[in-house]
Structure 1
Amino acid sequence: MKIIFNTDQTFLHGGIEKTMATKANYFVNIPNVHVYIVTTEQNGKLPCYFLDARVTLIDLGINYDRRLSYLSKRNLKKTFQHFRRQYELYKILQPDVVISANFNFDHYWLPFLLSKVKVIKERHGSRFFEDKLRKNTSFLNRLKFAFNNWLDSKYSHIVVLNEDEKKYVKSNNAVVIPNSVCVPEYKAELKNKTVIAAGRISPVKAFDELIQAWKVVYDNFPDWQLHIYGDDYLDTGEKLSELIGQLELQDVISFKESVKDLPYVMQHYSIYAMSSITECFPMVLLEALSVGLPIVSYDCPNGPRNIIRDKEDGLLAEYRNKRSLAEKLLELINDENKRLEMGNSAKINVQRFNNDRVMELWCNLLNLQHV
């Protein structure tokens, strides 16, 4: 069997890239399975996450300009080259399965590119806000949504990450397969007076709300610190630094660069904090649980509530309520025994997302032998 993972790049830190590497490394160890990762804009860079040497990497060299809109003239011109190169390559490789995890122009032609190929679309983003828009929108938008529903139906499967997201797929081909995590043997001691947050430094992560919540934490526990790991996006970091200065929190909040092995870093913290506006199934929460790190998160649509067991291995704060977020953080900061109990539960509860269990679901979907 030949499996192609279809994506834009593999060199950036991210949940899509990490989970794709996990699946590719697993599949390539199954007898008579060949795995390819086909990118559109790798630009000669090395993959961020480890890939087995038997995984074949191919870059189409389309190089869309991500600074511009997808619909810009410059990017639209590249779609013809994209289609031609992709079609020619797939015709040579003759894959049995194509798995596409990123949204790209080829989303619109992949189901029709080759016959008798199982084409799977993975959805890593929540459709919560889109579903609300569908209920009150213009006639033209309703036509667009109807077209998207029809296009979804042409894929062999739409893989979503949790049950909440399944209801947004209007065709009858949705399958729920969550992200997975490798559970390490080590465990966080939860003794250090530090809290960790991580993710792309962008508006959707709402780190500004976490920073404002931390002002309340600081007023009660000035000896605790918050460290935020991630790469800057659209100069969001500069705006957040200004906010930190305005709140006079520069001595207790600091930014750190992205790291390849985040769980190893997480074990030196005592709480994981998340303030995102939307999350589908964030890998960082799985990684936090995997090292026994209790979590405080907004109950944002729709990921955290499908990972965290509230009051057992973490605390869900009221959505976009900074006071609630601060109070949940204070609750764990103030009670070491509760942190330790939740940390123990986290290490146990995360087993339902371990690699073996999740990859068995993928093998069943592809009719592969589970190793």
Structure 2
Amino acid sequence: MKIVYMTYGIHYSGGMERVLSVKANYFAEVLEYEVYIVITDGKGRSPFFKFSDKIQIIDLGINYRDLVGMNPLKKCIPYFLKKLRHQRKLSRLLNEIKPDISISMFQYEASVLHKIKDGSKKIIESHFCRAVDLLRNKEKHGISKYIAKYLFKKNSKIASRYDCLVTLTEDDLRLYDDVKSVRCIPNPLTITPPTYVLRNSPASTESAHDCVEADFPRDRKNTNILLAIGRISYQKGFDNLVKIWADIEKEFPNWELHIYGSHEDRPYYEYIQSMIQESKLNRIFIFNPTDNIEKVYEKSDLLAVTSNYEGFNLSIIEGMSYGLPVVSFDCPCGPGEILRGHDCGVLIAPGDNRAFANALRGFMSNSELRKRYSDKAYVRAKDFSIDNIMGKWITLFREL
């Protein structure tokens, strides 16, 4: 089978790029499909995540991002010309490859791919939260409100022209009620955690031969780590996390807060740094993204998610696969669907920093509580194993 993925670039360290690398590698290495990734804005930059040597990466060199920051009126014609060139080059390429499945990541190619007659079944993936668009539209006024409504409806029209739209959550799926063919397939785990015996269980459901105790450092060292992962931006709500940490830092001298994320939003990043300095917090550490995130989860004890909104939140299932209990705001979309009803984490009403701090206190002061939730987190994470999730994709391909 031939599969072509399309997106704007793979040099970023975001969750969408990470998931793309895992899915594409699975198709190429495990199932031995012929896999292509077609990008528009590579500019010679190397992928942040590792892609199999069996995957062909093709940059069309359209470079839409060159228009970012340009006056909206002045960029209309250049953007239109780029779209025409994009459709022409992509059409030529797909008719040469003759793929069975073509997949848009809902980037610049979304309005182009469905027009191309190459014989492939066409899928579009949504990695964003539509509920947030609805909330933002309500806050807009005047002409900006009409533009927002137009773009919202336009995305539905684009999605309806594909053979199937795939969302990451059931909540997001329900907001595409005007699209006929919609399927929910969550993100898979992008890492392979060590196998370990479930804590506080009278007997493991797995044999001793298959299940080996891993050397988890939690509760075996002098310093415990509260972990947060995500781009340093408003979306991830790290301003709230700093306020929450300021409320509890002095109570827990053996705990540190570690934040891993990119700093593209410099004003917000500098705002976070100023908050830390003004509050005189000396046990918050911000690190750059790492391609060895497994080591980060392995040395951590608890995961905090203070996002204002999500498309899914990959760090939750990754952290749970390493046995991390989770405290998260119940924001749209993702955390609630992952955590609710599984006793592997605590959901907090969005914006309730006091309740969030109290939930952290409960875990940080009680190692036995952490262990109980850790066992449940590890079990829940298995629902998102690569084999389980990729099986859903294979089923979809067969049904199209």
TM-score over 0.5 for the pair? yes
Residue 142 of structure 1: CA displacement? 4.8
Q: Which amino acid in the other structure matches residue 264 of structure 2?
A: Y
Q: Structure 1's 311 and 319: CA in aligned 2 closer, same or farther, altered over 3 A?
A: farther
Name the CA distance, whole Å, in 1 between partners of 2:71 and 2:85.
Answer: 15
Q: Which amino acid in the other structure matches residue 190 of structure 1?
A: R
Q: Which amino acid in the other structure matches residue 242 of structure 1?
A: S
Residue 132 of structure 1: CA displacement? 4.4
Matches within 5 A, 1:1-371: 1-29=1-29, 33-65=33-65, 67-68=68-69, 71=72, 73=75, 74-104=78-108, 106-132=109-135, 142=149, 144-169=151-176, 170-181=178-189, 182-185=191-194, 188-191=216-219, 192-235=223-266, 236-249=268-281, 251-309=282-340, 312-367=343-398
Residue 3 of structure 1: CA displacement? 0.7
Name the CA distance, whole Å, in 1 between partners of 2:70 and 2:165.
Answer: 25
Note the alpha carbon deviations across 1:287-309, whole angstroms, 9 max, x for none: 10111111111111111111124
C-alpha contact (below 8 Å) 1:16/1:124 kept by paired residues? yes
Q: Structure 1's 22 and 32: CA in aligned 2 closer, same or farther, altered over 3 A?
A: closer
Name the CA distance, whole Å, in 1 between partners of 2:138 and 2:234.
Answer: 25
Name the CA distance, whole Å, in 2 between partners of 1:133 and 1:366.
Answer: 34
Residue 280 of structure 1: CA displacement? 1.9
Q: Secondary structure at the match of 1:103?
A: coil
C-alpha contact (below 8 Å) 1:291/1:347 kept by paired residues? yes
In the alignment, what sits opposite 2:200? none
Note the alpha carbon deviations across 1:221-278, whole angstroms, 9 max, x for none: 24321111111022122111101011111x1111111111212211101111111110
Residue 120 of structure 1: CA displacement? 0.8
Q: Structure 1's 107 and 69: CA in aligned 2 closer, same or farther, altered over 3 A?
A: farther
Name the CA distance, whole Å, in 2 between partners of 1:257 and 1:283.
Answer: 17
Residue 337 of structure 1: CA displacement? 0.4
C-alpha contact (below 8 Å) 1:65/1:75 kept by paired residues? no
C-alpha contact (below 8 Å) 1:195/1:225 kept by paired residues? yes
Name the CA distance, whole Å, in 2 between partners of 1:134 and 1:211.
Answer: 28
- Alpha-carbon RMSD across the aligned residues, in angstroms, is 2.3
Residue 76 of structure 1: CA displacement? 4.6
Q: Structure 1's 23 and 335: CA in aligned 2 closer, same or farther, altered over 3 A?
A: same
| Greater shift in the superposed pair: 81-90 or 128-137 | 128-137
After TM superposition, the runs of 4+ consecutive aligned structure 1 residues lying more than 3 A away are 29-32, 69-72, 74-77, 131-148, 186-189
Q: Which amino acid in the other structure matches residue 160 of structure 1?
A: T
Q: Secondary structure at the match of 1:28?
A: helix
Name the CA distance, whole Å, in 2 between partners of 1:342 and 1:31.
Answer: 35
With structure 2 as the length reference, what TM-score do the two structures score?
Answer: 0.85
In the alignment, what sits opposite 2:211? none
Q: Which amino acid in the other structure matches residue 315 of structure 1?
A: V
Q: Structure 1's 345 and 215: CA in aligned 2 closer, same or farther, altered over 3 A?
A: same
Q: Which amino acid in the other structure matches residue 69 of structure 2?
A: L
Q: How many residues align?
A: 366
Name the CA distance, whole Å, in 1 between partners of 2:358 and 2:290.
Answer: 29
Identity of aligned residues (%): 29
Residue 189 of structure 1: CA displacement? 3.8
With structure 1 as the length reference, what TM-score do the two structures score?
Answer: 0.91
In the alignment, what sits opposite 2:210? none
Structure 2 gap segments, 5+ residues each: 196-213
Q: Which amino acid in the other structure matches residue 156 of structure 1?
A: D
Residue 133 of structure 1: CA displacement? 5.9
| Greater shift in the superposed pair: 113-122 or 292-301 | 113-122
